[in-house]
Amino acid sequence: MERECVFCKIIRGESPADFVYKGEEIVVFKDIRPEAPIHLLVVPRKHIPTVNDLTEEDRLLVGEMFLKARAIAQRLGIAERGYRLILNVERGGGQIIFHLHMHLLGGW
């Protein structure tokens, strides 16, 4: 499962991606099919399929995802104008890639 996971492959460097941040816990790269002038994916290195699979031990990681999204929005100069953070959960919620990720959209 993790071996075949598209985002795990990107994180391991086995598939290409346009990274804007690489940290110990989280990476951020550009969405391959952008739906906004800026469309990034905030992705934990840990393979967690969906929000429904989060556990108590992921509490800090989830906080990190939000803080990293905000920091990058600030760095890109879109924080004050405004942006969207989206988490699609399970197929019914529009999730296609089953490795937790937060969409950061902005720059309109």
Binding site residues, Zn ion, CB under 5 A: 5, 7-8, 47, 99
Helix locations, the chain, DSSP H: 6-12, 59-75
* 47 in catalytic set: no
- Give, as ranges, the residues between 34 and 93 that touch ligand AMP (CB under 6 A): 41, 88
Q: Which of 39, 47, 99, 101 is catalytic?
A: 101
CB of 67 to Zn ion, least distance (A): 21
Which residues face 105 on adjacent strands? 39, 84
Contacts of 45 (CB under 8 A, 6+ apart): 11, 24, 25, 26, 27
Q: In the chain, what is the greatest distance between 2 CA atoms, to the nearest angstrom?
A: 39
Look at residue 5 and give the partner it binds from ligand AMP, Zn ion, none, a contact being a CB closer than 5 to 8 Å depending on partner kind: Zn ion
Catalytic residues: 101
Binding site for ligand AMP (CB under 6 A): 6, 15, 17, 31-33, 41, 88, 94-97
